Amino acid sequence: MGLFNSSSILQYFVTFIFITLFVFTTFGNTSVSKKHSKYYEDISNGAIAYAYPISNIKIDGDISDWPKNLTKYPINKLPYGNAPKDQNDFDAYFHIGYNTSEQAIYVMVVVTDDSYIVDTSEKSDWNTQDTFNFYVDLLHSPNGSGVDLYQYGENYKDTNNQSISWDPSKTKTNWDNVKIISKRKGNTTIYECKVKATNQLTENKTIGIDYVFIDKDADDSEGRNSFIAWGNGGGKSSGPGRLGDVILLKEKQKTQTITGQLKWKNDTIKKFPNKIRFTTIDNPMLWTQVIIDSTGNYKTELPIGKYSISPVNDIIYDDPNIIRIDTENIKTNVIVSENNADKNNVLELARKTKPDMIGSKGVLQDFNPKNSKKIDEFIKTYQDHYKIPGVSLALIKNGKIAYHKTYGVKNTFTKEKISNTTLFEAASITKPVFGFAVMRLVERGIIDLDKPLHEYLPFEEIAHDDRYKLITARHVLTHKTGFPNWAYMNEDGKIDIKFTPGTKYGYSGEGFEYLKRVVAHITKKDIDDLLKEEVLTPLGLENTYFSKNDYLTKVVANGHFDNMPTQASLPNEPGMAWSMHTEAKTFTNFLLGISDKKGLKSETYKQMFSLETEIPKGDNDPIPEEYKNYFGLSLSIQKSPFGLAFGHGGNNGDFKCLALMYQDLDMGFVIFTNSNTGDRLHDDLVEYLITGKRNKDK
């Protein structure tokens, strides 16, 4: 296959940017952070509770007015951190009910905790004491509505930042309609909660609820916290579909256990969807999601009624491939009755055939703008197959832009269309842009490629390892620093050195961030200003930004995991490994500028295109021997049967993109997508546009 075409090779040119692990992914309450895509693929909540009408409840910490017959739902999932030592150390359960005349949800939580900590200082925060995090989605749309988060401690109250929500109805979360009271007795803490709705509560409706409790123990000298939750996973306010389902039942309404199994018409397929959705036939407001085990079986309890069943997500990941489920022909109706507890319902799945529009020769080689309908048809067909919400595409031929178009939507919840002004996260494509700026400084003698960076600016966090004093700007730009990609990927979350700098290849975003700090220190300039002077203006990248501003907030697309939108969290500070925002037409100016040797001396370009680092071929790498992959100075470079190719890929999890130029052919393309499946389209696009269909089994 070839550079930028194989999923296994693409990973060398992409990166997952830094996350503040607990604050954002658990609570979604910080202004900038990003996500690791695997984290979202693993999430499958599946928690279900049933709420019945209740009345005459006072939120005062006295629970004697609560009905005695309400079901007890345990809170014992472990989303993060340390597991509790035992039930006395940390354990919880909840009761839930509702009142339609008051338009209110009532929740009572009982927490057992033998070490209860309250932070009475002015710096009190969610992680400095025992904290209750309460998540609410009263609309709970199957299409993924927004979530309100209420963080509560005895000396701490906060909410999530809804300005970055994908749901425009969530303009602000406040405490006006929420009341939480806590009362401590012995080793038990009682939390009583009341949430008022606005004509959203009706019988036989599903709402979204979840909880995460943080336990801080006095005898923990390392300051580590324990976490327990009701439903599986984290990220509960940063993306849709991650809360538990609470079904509001009528008084004395009955439920019944139902079991079932998923089967494939093609029995060679061994993987199954992780969840299926049950929706009542006569009332789409009552729906829930049920977890499927690895053998395709499920078991759950549902209200009596007639349901339609369908997969929650019709994509199954079977790396390096995906399986698309043919959802148009598999919906099944199931009746849940009082006497069908032992009935095993079978849902038969069929695979959707992948499109086959790739010929033996790349269409860009003979491309004429008059035939652009073929390009549009290809993008739309494969975009639909991979469930990619939005695409920005620009084609290059004969040293100029040959075609540019946008497709799809910015946000699958709002359905707002992608336009020519919509900006995407460029992820690791940021790296060669920063690399270009560094080479401009090198030309003027402001920084030396081979002078150890610590001589410009020490890096205190890694100073305990003397090998860091070997690291140079050349090592950073050629991915030979020895740093991990990101420190958070280490078990302890701390940066380290994996090998002696300069001795071998190791893709690293941390290296670029260190070099950024060095450059800012040397030049005494803001990085945004420096990039404008050294790259954006010289190469004509007008519609390009590296940190948050009012304009970017208005035009940025939402990222998506499995077709569900994520928060539009923008960086407060530029990150030189990941934070650029731009679109395809604009970024072709960078590729063309590099190809035309603009802005730098010819000798500097020779250095940039030198094959500094060979990327080792993995044991399971399907790339044929005639393709060799390298890094120059911040550029990904490939020797191929089609000549020299250069560019870079990008992967921030919910955004994936690729900029690729075949120098000898004088053609290439730039594509940005707001989807975790965008790289699948990139792979096919290389073949469709440039190489023609290749033998992937070589």
315-372 pLDDT, tens digit each: 999 877 899 999 887 878 999 998 876 577 899 999 999 999 999 999 999 998 888 9
**Under a CB-based contact definition with an 8 Å cutoff, are residues 499 and 481 in contact?**
no
Give me Rg for the CA atoms of the chain: 27
Determine the average pLDDT of the residues in 530-552: 97
The DSSP bridge pattern shows strands 315-318 and 305-311 to be unpaired
| Three-point CA angle 354, 357, 358, nearest 5° | 110
Which residue has 């594509």 as its token pair?
A: 671
Higher-pLDDT residue of 478 and 81 is 478
**Under a CB-based contact definition with an 8 Å cutoff, are residues 311 and 387 in contact?**
no
Query: Residue 139 above 70 pLDDT?
Result: yes
Tokens matching residue 5: 């075409």
* pLDDT band, very low/low/confident/very high, at 220 (cuts 50, 70, 90): low
Q: Please provide the distance, in angstroms rounded to a whole number, between the alpha carbons at the two ends of the chain.
A: 8
Which residue has 């070997």 as its token pair?
A: 470
The DSSP bridge pattern shows strands 344-349 and 255-264 to be parallel
* pLDDT band, very low/low/confident/very high, at 696 (cuts 50, 70, 90): low
239-274 pLDDT, tens digit each: 888 999 999 999 999 999 999 999 999 888 999 999
CB under 8 Å, gap of 24 or more: what pairs does 157-165 form?
Answer: 158/29, 158/126, 159/29, 160/27, 160/28, 160/29, 160/237, 161/28, 161/29, 161/30, 161/31, 163/553, 164/31, 164/567, 164/568, 164/569, 164/570, 165/567, 165/568
SS3 content of the chain, % helix, strand, coil (to 5): 20, 30, 45
Higher-pLDDT residue of 589 and 224 is 589
Question: Which amino acid makes up residue 589?
Answer: N
Determine the average pLDDT of the residues in 478-492: 95
**Under a CB-based contact definition with an 8 Å cutoff, are residues 352 and 326 in contact?**
yes
Determine the average pLDDT of the residues in 305-318: 91
Reading phi first (left if > 0) and then psi (alpha if -120 to 50, else beta), residue 162 is in alpha
What pLDDT, on the 0 to 100 scale, is given for residue 19?
25
Please indicate, yes or no, whether the overall pTM of this predicted structure exceeds 0.85.
Answer: yes
- Beta strand ranges found along 424-552 (DSSP E): 424-425
What order of strands is seen across the sheet that includes strand 321-325? 315-318, 321-325, 351-352
Displacement of CA 557 from its chain's centroid (Å): 13
- Beta strand ranges found along 507-551 (DSSP E): none
* pLDDT band, very low/low/confident/very high, at 216 (cuts 50, 70, 90): confident
Measure Cα distances from 198 to 102, 195, 477, 492, 633 in Å. Answer: 10, 10, 55, 45, 58
Tokens matching residue 621: 């790498």
Percentage, residues of the chain above pLDDT 70:
91
Query: Residue 390 above 50 pLDDT?
Result: yes
Determine the average pLDDT of the residues in 387-408: 97
271-301 pLDDT, tens digit each: 999 999 999 999 999 999 999 999 999 999 9
What pLDDT, on the 0 to 100 scale, is given for residue 6?
33
Residue 149: φ, ψ to 5°: -120, 130
* Mean pLDDT score of the chain: 89
Which residue has 């999923």 as its token pair?
A: 7
Q: At what angle do helices 430-443 and 509-523 cross, to 10 degrees?
A: 40
* pLDDT band, very low/low/confident/very high, at 41 (cuts 50, 70, 90): very low
Tokens matching residue 602: 């010819």
| Three-point CA angle 77, 82, 86, nearest 5° | 70
**Residue partners of 529: CB distance under 8 A and separation at least 6:** none
What pLDDT, on the 0 to 100 scale, is given for residue 475?
98
Rounded distance between C-alpha atoms, residue 535 and residue 433, angstroms: 7
How would you class 260 by CB atoms within 10 Å of its CB: exposed for 0-12, middle for 13-18, buried for 19 or more?
buried
Query: Residue 24 above 60 pLDDT?
Result: no
What pLDDT, on the 0 to 100 scale, is given for residue 484?
97
Query: Residue 512 above 80 pLDDT?
Result: yes
What pLDDT, on the 0 to 100 scale, is given for residue 369?
86
Query: Residue 149 above 60 pLDDT?
Result: yes
Tokens matching residue 17: 């940017």
Query: Residue 12 above 80 pLDDT?
Result: no
62-115 pLDDT, tens digit each: 999 999 999 999 999 988 777 787 777 889 999 999 999 999 999 999 999 988
**Under a CB-based contact definition with an 8 Å cutoff, are residues 433 and 468 in contact?**
no
Determine the average pLDDT of the residues in 510-529: 98
678-691 pLDDT, tens digit each: 999 999 999 999 99
What pLDDT, on the 0 to 100 scale, is given for residue 329?
77
Displacement of CA 223 from its chain's centroid (Å): 28
The DSSP bridge pattern shows strands 91-99 and 48-53 to be parallel
406-455 pLDDT, tens digit each: 999 999 999 999 999 999 999 999 999 999 999 999 999 999 999 999 99
